[in-house]
Structure 1
Amino acid sequence: MDPLRGRAETLKIAHLLDVPPDTLAFLRDLPVEDVRRFRTQSVAALFDRAPDMLDRIASATRLVPAGVAAAISQKALGPRLAAAVAGRLEPARAADIIEKLPVSFTAESCAHLDPRRIRGIVERLDENLVVRVAVALAERGDHLTMGRFVGHLPDPALRRILPQVDDAAVLRTGFAIDDPERLGHLIELLGADRLASVIGSASAEGLWPEALAVAGMVTGEQRGRIASLAAGQPQDRLDALVVTVAEQDLWEALLPLVALLDAAERRAVAELPSLRGADVLGGVVRAVVATGLWAEFLPLVGVLPDASRKVVADTAGALPERDLDALAREVDKQDLWELVMPLVELMDDAAKTRIFALPAFQDQAG
């Protein structure tokens, strides 16, 4: 899931630094944990070295009633500066002032608040206000800020918020969530029917990368449920998923989900028109070689139409010697020869000769 998590982290950094995401596209090629650490360092650099002016404003704010401070924030400071000042206040004082601000102003300010201050402030806000601000953020389409806040919201507020935001907003917020460990709990709060609706939204609105990212951040039964919901979409929409994955090279995100499908669901995937083309099948073979996901891929190969299986066999048989040997060693390591031999049988004589000469195959034969 690194490509998708890397994409999300890059968007968050661009949002934090207020620069176009394309200018930071190079970050997507770096290890995602490194990018995440860079974002944490960027937050510290931006908010810990605040000008003395902010501390002076914060000190003055403490001397006036919360309503007066709120009026000053709205009329004199504006959302960005007000958020910066709120980050210099004690959470209880910041919450008192926020309670007096219009919801629209608070929602706009949220995008500029020091992320490290969110929990302390949210814990002190009235639940009704939390709900209204969250809905306002959804209406603004500010899913990155929602992703920053959602992990800090209490369950009672979440249960009220979820019915008020559309499926696409739920999906985009899940993609951008700052606390992936919280995502499984959020999915449970959604319930089975709403989760099915959200995955249907991914299908209808072209949000498959976001859905794959969410599936990659949950585990166990939830991941299997998402995989089944995706496989159950109409064929044209499921085919669009495969096309998207091929175009964006997201096989590492998709194949582990395919491996969770039952036999009927796997056949539905195998019959997709997009999996009949040499370009797509060649791309998935190369991705599997790079990631070692043979255990996830081979069960799908076994139910592909004959012509498609032949394309996979020919592509694998034509791999460079180093990749072919790595393939054989991975297959041997995971004891997948029973799944691989039918594929070898489809190769031409030259490819078979290369396979049989590989040290890994010789070890298996011995």
Structure 2
Amino acid sequence: MTALTSSLEITKLAHEMHVDEADLAFLAASSPDDLRELRGIVSHAMFSRHESRVKGLAAVSTKLPAPVVAKITELAMGPMLSARVAAVMDPVDAAKLAGHLKPQFLAELSVHLDPSRVKGIVAKLDQAVVVDIGRRLLAAGHVLTLARFTGVVSPEVSLQVLEGASGAEILQVAVFLDDPSVLDPILADLSDETLAAVVAATADHGEAADALLAALSAENRARIAALA
């Protein structure tokens, strides 16, 4: 199970560093805890890089009309730099700016965000916007990004994002959760049909599915056992 957890952590680390997983294969023997700690260090380092310039851009953005800043953001800054700036902006200003950005750009930007740094912004966005972004991420296959944001949005929002998703897609999001406990209220409100599809998908995910099931509440495990 440790090897499996380490593999998942390497996937998350590769996503954080924007490199291919194969480039980090040498870390396979590392413990999950060490890899998780390394991911935190890398995240902090990448966020801190050019931090003064990023804060300068954030400060300038407050002096211009939001529609103008939005146009500059989409045409000149791109998703990655925009994500860095968003992380240091006042949540109210950032949410106001988000209202002028195209939904597809917001989805692309989200891939580069650290959800723990933008909780305040997400909380101020219209729920329909958050759901739309989540569905765009799901459609593009960004299940790891969705898993990271599942920890900072409400179960209601997560359920709306996953509405219509296949059992395999829901399971893929679930196995990448840093805290599997956030899955309990989501599974509790899934229909029997959808949950049965998730259970069926576990056959293709072996130990990852077993580890996930072990972390669920007794109530959810009992329901899954009944469906299985």
Structure 1 pair 115–41 and aligned structure 2 pair: CA distance change class (3 A)? farther
SS at match of 1:44: helix
Seen in structure 2, the aligned counterparts of structure 1 residues 114 and 160 have a Cα distance that, compared at 3 Å, is: closer
8 Å CA contact 1:4, 1:213 repeated in 2: no
1:69, 1:97 within 8 Å by CA — same for their partners in 2? yes
CA distance in 2, matches of 1:201, 1:126: 32
Q: Deviations over 1:326-346 (max 9, x none)?
A: xxxxxxxxxxxxxxxxxxxxx
**Contact 1:135-1:164 within 8 A present in 2 as well:** no
Q: Name the structure 2 match of 1:5.
A: 5
- Residue 218 of structure 2 is matched in structure 1 by 220
State whether residues 162 and 190 of structure 1, in contact with CA within 8 Å, keep that contact through their aligned partners in structure 2: no
Mark the runs of 5 or more structure 2 residues left unpaired by the alignment.
none
SS at match of 2:49: coil
Displacement of 1:45: 1.2
Q: The residue matched to 1:112 in structure 2 has which SS?
A: coil
User: In structure 2, what is the Cα distance between the partners aligned to 1:189 and 1:28?
Assistant: 36
The residue correspondences of 1:317-336 to structure 2 (distance < 5 A) are none
Matches of 2:93 and 2:147, distance apart in 1? 24
Asked whether the equivalents of residues 118 and 149 of structure 1 are also in contact (C-alpha less than 8 Å), the reply is: no
Helix, strand or coil at the partner of 1:214? helix
1:50 matched to 2:89? no
Note if 1:138 corresponds to 2:134: no
Is the 2:115–2:152 contact (alpha carbons within 8 Å) kept by the matching residues of 1? no
Indicate the percent of aligned positions where both proteins have the same amino acid.
Answer: 33
State whether structure 2 residue 178 is matched by structure 1 residue 178. yes
Deviation at 1:112, TM superposition (A): 0.9
Give the equivalent residue in structure 1 for 2:77: 77
- Structure 2 counterparts to residues 81-160 of structure 1, below 5 A: 81-160=81-160
Structure 2 matches for 1:128-277, cutoff 5 A? 128-203=128-203, 206-226=204-224, 229=227, 232=228
Unaligned runs of 5+ in 1: 233-366
Residue aligning to 2:25:
25
Structure 1 residue 51 displacement after superposition: 4.1
Asked whether the equivalents of residues 159 and 186 of structure 2 are also in contact (C-alpha less than 8 Å), the reply is no
Q: Structure 1 residues 44-53 or 139-148, which shifts more?
A: 44-53
Q: Name 1:243's counterpart in structure 2.
A: none
- One-letter amino acid matched to 2:32: V
The 2-side partners of 1:55 and 1:71 are apart by 19
Question: SS of the residue aligned with 2:5?
Answer: helix
How far does residue 208 in structure 1 lie from its aligned partner after superposition?
3.5
CA 1:191–1:177 in 2, change beyond 3 Å: closer, same or farther?
A: same
d(CA) in 2 for partners of 1:29, 1:225: 36
Give the residue type in structure 1 aligned to 2:48: D
One-letter amino acid matched to 2:209? A
In structure 2, distance between residues paired with 1:209 and 1:23: 24
Call closer, same or farther: CA 1:220–1:3 in 2, change over 3 Å. farther
The aligned amino acid for 1:106 is: L
Are 1:171 and 1:210, in contact at CA under 8 Å, matched by a contact in 2?
no
Number of residue pairs aligned between Structure 1 and Structure 2: 228
Q: Deviations over 1:151-178 (max 9, x none)?
A: 1112332232221322222111101113
Report the 3-state secondary structure (helix = DSSP H, G, I; strand = E; otherwise coil) of the residue aligned with 2:100.
coil
Deviation at 1:35, TM superposition (A): 1.5
Q: Which amino acid aligns with 2:49?
A: R
The answer (yes or no) to whether the contact 1:122–1:153 under 8 Å persists in 2 is yes
**1:30, 1:168 → 2: CA distance?**
28
Deviation, structure 1 residue 118: 2.9
1:67 aligns with 2:95: no
CA deviation after TM superposition for structure 1 residue 84, in Å: 1.1
Structure 2 residue aligned with 1:240: none
Amino acid at match of 2:213: A
Q: Counterpart amino acid of 2:14? A: A
What do the CA deviations read for 1:196-222 (whole angstroms, capped 9, x no partner)? 11122344xx33344234213324243
**Contact 1:134 / 1:161 at 8 angstroms: preserved in 2?**
yes
Q: 1:227 deviation in Å?
A: 5.1
RMSD: 2.0
Amino acid at match of 1:148: R
* Deviation by residue 1:117-139 (Cα, 9 ceiling, x = unmatched): 23111101000001100000000
